[in-house]
A = this chain, B = another copy of it.
Amino acid sequence: MTQSAEAAAIARAIAAAKVIYVASHENPDGDAVGSLLGLRLVLASLGKTVHVALPHPVPARYAFLEGSASIRWDFPSSVPDLAIALDCDGPERLAHLRQAIEAAPLVADVDHHAGQAFGDLRYLDPTAPASVAQVYVIAGELGGILSPAAATCLYCGLMTDTGGFRFTNTTAAALHLAGQLVAAGADPAEIARRVFAERPLGAALLEGRALSSLRSVSDGRVLLGSITREDFQASGAEPEDTEGIIDAFRDVRGVEIAALLKETEPDVWQVSLRARDVDVRALAAQFGGGGHRLAAGCTMRGDLEQVAASVRKAAQQALREADASA
């Protein structure tokens, strides 16, 4: 089936269903929450009984989206007519919700990743900038008008999944969709303020300490920074407040490998690695970790100097290998 035929098939299944379960992935991001709540509003406007669930709580920054309080940790024990999984790169990303979703008589997998497909109806579009773009297509197939609240949910997912329109999935289509969502009532400045500009003071103080800790080696090609338990305590920050700090490291001019060492327990370090081109998954694997080619991580033990020296050495070796194969 073509992608539009896939979307149409899911729209028909929705039209035929009375009770629908919708879920998205663990550690939900803006696209997971936005697509879930946007689809919820679309389905509710059609008179459907909709239950929405996520394996983990909604991050505070997305709590302003309409319907966020309706998201449950699990589904009712009854069986729906249709279950829809959004933005899940494989069914295991549903975590404990997988069973309830797969128990439905009809399961739809709507995803913009190029990963593992599952379910009876599959609408997979790796060219879509975010899963919210697919929800927009389904909503169009269903007819009706997108409410400002639903447009807000979808815009939020699009904005966050494109890194504020800065990642390579910021296609012409993504920007046109953003324009259509604004025309439908989404307020870009307000959504950006809610999501990006409301960080707690503790998070700002923590980022200050992390940035101040930066040390570069190999002429600035490798950059290391750390967050100790003392940094967490002194700044009053939460573990989730480290989000985005490693990206700030990678964005320094000339950096090819960035590493952030976070002390989670005494002498236990969660190491985040980012690269622009070098394979840091292989680097993380040396320490028993994993991830993606340009974004990986591992857990290491020792005092800060020991761990930093090990990471530095491995990063320099990875650079040498990259130079040699270039």
Contact = CB atoms under 8 A, between A and B. Distances in A.
Interface of A: 159, 164-168, 170-176, 178-180, 182-183, 188-189, 192-193, 196-201, 204-205, 207-214, 216, 220, 223, 248-254
Contacts of A216: 201
B214 A251 contact: no
A192 B174 CA distance: 15
A22 to B, nearest CB: 27
B175 A182 contact: yes
B188 A166 contact: yes
A153 to B, nearest CB: 17
A155 B249 CA distance: 25
Contact of A211 (B189, B208, B251): B208
A172 B165 contact: no
B172 A175 contact: no
Given A166-B196, A172-B182, A192-B165, A214 B223 contact: no
20 contacts: A165-B165, A166-B196, A166-B197, A167-B189, A168-B189, A170-B189, A171-B182, A172-B183, A175-B188, A176-B179, A179-B179, A196-B251, A199-B251, A200-B253, A201-B253, A208-B208, A208-B209, A208-B211, A208-B212, A208-B214
B201 A251 contact: no
**Which label, helix, strand, loop or mixed, suits the secondary structure of the A interface?**
helix
A214 B205 contact: yes
A208 B205 contact: no
Given A166-B196, A168-B189, A212 B212 contact: yes
Contacts of A208: 207-214
A288 B212 CA distance: 34
B220 A214 contact: no
A164 B191 CA distance: 13
Contacts of A199: 251-253
Give 6 closest A-B pairs by Cβ, nearest first: A208-B211, A175-B179, A208-B212, A197-B251, A166-B192, A170-B188
Contacts of A173: 179
Contacts of A167: 189
A189 B129 CA distance: 13
Contacts of A196: 166, 251
Given A166-B188, A168-B189, A198-B251, A178 B180 contact: no
Nearest to A198: B253
Contacts of A165: 159, 164-165, 178, 188, 192
B248 A204 contact: yes
B188 A180 contact: no
Contacts of A201: 214, 216, 220, 223, 252-254
B210 A214 contact: no
Contacts of A180: 172
A178 to B, nearest CB: 4
A180 B176 CA distance: 8
Given A179-B179, A193-B251, 11 more contacts: A166-B197, A170-B188, A170-B189, A175-B176, A175-B188, A197-B250, A198-B251, A201-B253, A204-B252, A207-B211, A208-B208
